[in-house]
């Protein structure tokens, strides 16, 4: 398996961590919407990229 696949999975995991990070009650509470949006975008972008590469691999156009 290629190393870039693990990198994409790590990016998806980092996006999920940004969505779930508990910032309530800290001085970073004001950036909760920013971290949530960045996390959602990271999960969506890297998931769609992995799906696209998987479909291309299935049809032999890798």
pLDDT digits (tens, 9 = 90+) for 3-62: 888 999 999 999 999 999 999 999 999 999 999 999 999 999 999 999 999 899 899 876
Measure the CA–CA gap between 12 and 47, rounded to whole angstroms: 7
pLDDT at position 1 is 59
Measure the CA–CA gap between 13 and 57, rounded to whole angstroms: 23
CA–centroid distance for 58 within its chain? 23
The label of the residue with tokens 């870039």 reads 4
pLDDT at position 11 is 94
The label of the residue with tokens 């004001």 reads 30
pLDDT at position 7 is 92
Measure the CA–CA gap between 19 and 23, rounded to whole angstroms: 10
């Amino acid at each position: 398996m290629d190393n870039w696949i693990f990198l994409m999975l790590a990016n998806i995991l980092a996006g999920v961590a940004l969505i779930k990070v508990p910032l309530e009650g800290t001085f970073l509470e004001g950036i909760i919407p920013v971290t949530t949006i960045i996390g959602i975008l990271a999960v969506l972008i890297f998931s769609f990229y992995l799906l696209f590469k998987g479909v291309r691999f299935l049809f032999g156009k890798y």
